[in-house]
Amino acid sequence: MLRRPPYPVSLETRKEIEKHINELLDMDVIRKIGNNEIVEITTPVLITWNDGKSRLYGDFRALNNYTKADRYPIPRIPHALDKLAKSKYITKMDCMKGFHQNGVKPNSMKLLRIIFHMGIYEYTRMPFGIKNAPAHFQRMMDTIFQEEILEGWMVVYIDDIIIYSETWEDHVNT
């Protein structure tokens, strides 16, 4: 069992993590649990981008070390750009918090626990930071949009959907 105390963070970061935890609770992505069985528990990590937006990840490195890799192929960016290069019209859509749209099997939830000064939580939906989450999500999206991808007017990169065409008429009709 690996149980880490929460990483020390600044007051500003602590407030930002609290905000994320409350949002995840409101969206039923995590749930608070009363106590921890003898299972691994990790700590949340806040990643902040230059634009000031942030995302909460679990530090699941120890779990990822024991996870067999899912080798499902993720599209290569240069290949996607080649398809888009000849297009005059491009629409990009992002699946908002796409990973969180996927449920977690009940027997896996206990492996996806995080601890913070507010308590212990477990993910009920797919968290960011899990080794195979990108491959799982890509497989799901490829399955859902298989026909559109094969028709050659859509590219899917994990949770980003790009529709491309040479004419406006084709673009609005796809």
SS (H, E, C) the chain: CCECCCCCCCHHHHHHHHHHHHHHHHCCCEEEECCCCCCCEECEEEEECCCCCEEEEECCHHHHHCCCCCCCCCCCHHHHHHHHHCCCEEEEEECCCHHHHCECCHHHHCCCEEEECCEEEEECECCCCCCCHHHHHHHHHHHHCHHHHHHCCEEEECCEEEEEECCHHHHHHC
Q: Where are the domains of the chain?
A: 11-173
pTM exceeding 0.85? no
Per-residue pLDDT, averaged over 85-90, amounts to: 92
Q: What is the pLDDT of residue 69?
A: 96
CATH class of the domain comprising 11-173: alpha beta
Give pLDDT, residue 3. Answer: 62
Mean pLDDT in residue range 114-121: 87
Residue 157 above 90 pLDDT? yes
